[in-house]
Amino acid sequence: ARRNFAYDTEAIRAKDVAHHVHPWTDFADFEKTGSMVVAEAEGATIYDSEGQGYLDGIGGLWCVNLGYGRDEIAQAMADQARRMVYYSSFGHHTSVPAAELAAKVTGLAPAGLNHVLFGTGGSMANDTAIRIVHFYFNRLGKPRKKKIITRHDGYHGSTYLAMSLTGVAFDHQGFDLVGEELIARISAPNCYRRPAGTTEAEFLDLLAGEFEAKVLELGPETVAAFIAEPIMGAGGVVVAPAGYHRRIWELCRKYEILYIADEVVTAFGRLGHFFASEAVFGMQPDILTCAKGFSSAYAPLSGTLISDAFHEVISVPQAPGALFTHGFTYSGHPVCCAAGLKTIEIMEREDICGHVRRVGPYFERRLKSLSDLPLVGDVRGSHFMLCVENVADKETKALLPGEVQIGKRIAAAAQARGVLVRPIAHLNVLSPPLILTEAQIDRMVETLRD
């Protein structure tokens, strides 16, 4: 696809390189090549400022779930901005869309998650979760119960605390983290790289055993919460062995540890349901965080959903005048909430979750057909959250020399053929808009094979 544009690409690039600090970017490399200026977009296709179209296999950043150019969402946001752009929801004010969205999203959420605190991104939602957990145990008179168990290769965001919860070692280089007094780490449930000779069921026993041993080592009276993505995203689309989340959740119950489900990627349809925790993994987290698909990326919007039991404890005033001193200027921003409401309305009307449940298995099957290639060690994931792991040797699973380059080289070669896939180290990740058709899936997979 091509369009005719009149953007001054060179001038835009020059300003960008000189002044724009890009997140998560290799500056030296970027200054040499500059950026692709993404100028316009429609459906599942983005266009650079020269008019070249690309099928977006990344969904922006696992977030443009309904695809680009949805007039209805733009209109709902514009209407709200004209009617009443902003008023704070601190204290005794609210807005129509904030109240409506709070009721709507908690109605769709797993049982008992009847309350939501809004924010503007996944990191903020996770920071909020940890702050509330600490507040909760302080209120219960258990000020020692503060540690958070997290997993190697989990990704929870990029604020100081969210990055400290994150377990991707590569992401930690050069920065400081919150220390061991707060964070403890356990293994990633990576079935592809599980100990040789173990079955998936044995691997599950090992992981559950490791979790319980960690709780006992730290002392259950010091462990406040466990945080996990239903399927690890940025850490390599890691699908845990069957029954993992339920098993860990039961152990959390045993030791009075709160389970925080980080559904920043998986909520709002990516796995074929509004939320994956209960519908796919059969458990009810105490706290659930979501962002990205919440507004289909039309506006910054996140939610930290909390259970009734939890809300009861944190909402009971104790010391006279004591406040719940947490929240942000843009918590419940009316324009963002209007985008969220319209997103959910469209998802329901177009049965986006049904589409993902129907087409997702086709996507998985088609991508798995690449397994015959000598480079492809593993194809994994679920529905619209998939990845290809590239290796040097399929038997030993050894990585290629200069392993990070292969993901980038494949992504660059696909881009030259009009398809965008995301490189993460030696992996290529696919998280396209949820509206993708079988024909678009075929094109993506054939491009990758090529």
The residue among 48 and 236 lying less far from ligand PLP, judged by its C-beta, is 236
Fill in the per-residue mask, 72 to 101: x = in contact with ligand PLP (CB under 6 A), - = not in contact: ------------------------------
Other beta carbons less than 10 A from residue 318's beta carbon: 7
**Is 291 a residue that touches ligand PLP (CB under 6 A)?**
yes
**Is 385 a residue that touches ligand PLP (CB under 6 A)?**
no
The residue among 148 and 391 lying less far from ligand PLP, judged by its C-beta, is 148
Among 57, 110, 112, 157, binds ligand PLP (CB under 6 A): 157
Strand-by-strand arrangement of the 38-42 sheet:
38-42, 45-48, 53-56, 419-420
Query: Min. distance of Cβ 343 from ligand PLP in angstroms?
Result: 15
Considering only residues 33 through 72, tell me which ones interact with ligand PLP, judged by CB under 6 A.
none
Q: What's the per-residue H, E or C state across the chain?
A: CECCCCCCHHHHHHHHHHHCCCCCCCHHHHHHHCCCCEEEEEECEEEECCCEEEEECCHHHHCCCCCECCHHHHHHHHHHHHHHCCCCCCCCCCCHHHHHHHHHHHHHCCCCCCEEEEECCHHHHHHHHHHHHHHHHHHCCCCCCCEEEEECCCCCCCCHHHHHHCCCHHHHCCCCCCCCCCEEEECCCCCCCCCCCCCHHHHHHHHHHHHHHHHHHHCHHHEEEEEECCCECCCCCECCCCCHHHHHHHHHHHCCCEEEEECCCCCCCCCCCCCHHHHCCCCCCCEEEECHHHCCCCCCCEEEEECHHHHHHHHCCCCCCCCCCCCCCCCCCHHHHHHHHHHHHHHHHCCHHHHHHHHHHHHHHHHHHHHHCCCEEEEEEECCEEEEEECCCCCCCCCCCCCHHHHHHHHHHHHHCCEECEEECCEEEECCCCCCCHHHHHHHHHHHHC
Query: Min. distance of Cβ 157 from ligand PLP in angstroms?
Result: 3
CB 89 within 8 Å of CB 332 = yes
CB 34 within 8 Å of CB 27 = no
**Is 233 a residue that touches ligand PLP (CB under 6 A)?**
yes
Considering only residues 158 through 197, tell me which ones interact with ligand PLP, judged by CB under 6 A.
158
Query: Min. distance of Cβ 248 from ligand PLP in angstroms?
Result: 17
Region binding ligand PLP by CB under 6 A among candidate stretches 38-46, 90-98, 117-125, 218-226: 117-125
The residue among 288 and 379 lying less far from ligand PLP, judged by its C-beta, is 288
| Location of structure tokens 């179209």 | 53
Here the tokens at position 383 are 């529905």
Among 121, 334, 340, 360, binds ligand PLP (CB under 6 A): 121
Considering only residues 213 through 232, tell me which ones interact with ligand PLP, judged by CB under 6 A.
229
Among 234, 297, 337, 427, binds ligand PLP (CB under 6 A): 234
Distance between CA 88 and CA 70 in Å, rounded? Answer: 27
Region binding ligand PLP by CB under 6 A among candidate stretches 95-103, 106-114, 119-127, 184-192: 119-127
Position of minimal CB gap to ligand PLP:
122
The residue among 157 and 269 lying less far from ligand PLP, judged by its C-beta, is 157
Contacts for 297 with CB less than 8 Å, ≥ 6 apart: 60, 61, 63, 64, 65
Region binding ligand PLP by CB under 6 A among candidate stretches 94-102, 107-115, 132-140, 152-160: 152-160
Query: Min. distance of Cβ 170 from ligand PLP in angstroms?
Result: 14
Region binding ligand PLP by CB under 6 A among candidate stretches 153-161, 361-369, 376-384, 420-428: 153-161
CB 421 within 8 Å of CB 427 = no
Among 115, 147, 151, 156, binds ligand PLP (CB under 6 A): 156
**Is 123 a residue that touches ligand PLP (CB under 6 A)?**
yes
Query: Min. distance of Cβ 60 from ligand PLP in angstroms?
Result: 11
Query: Min. distance of Cβ 235 from ligand PLP in angstroms?
Result: 9
Among 59, 60, 97, 122, binds ligand PLP (CB under 6 A): 122
Among 41, 265, 379, 391, binds ligand PLP (CB under 6 A): 265
Query: Min. distance of Cβ 394 from ligand PLP in angstroms?
Result: 28
Among 47, 68, 118, 155, binds ligand PLP (CB under 6 A): 155
The residue among 291 and 353 lying less far from ligand PLP, judged by its C-beta, is 291
Query: Min. distance of Cβ 393 from ligand PLP in angstroms?
Result: 30
Where along the sequence are the contacts to ligand PLP (CB under 6 A)?
121-123, 126, 155-158, 229, 233-234, 262, 264-265, 291
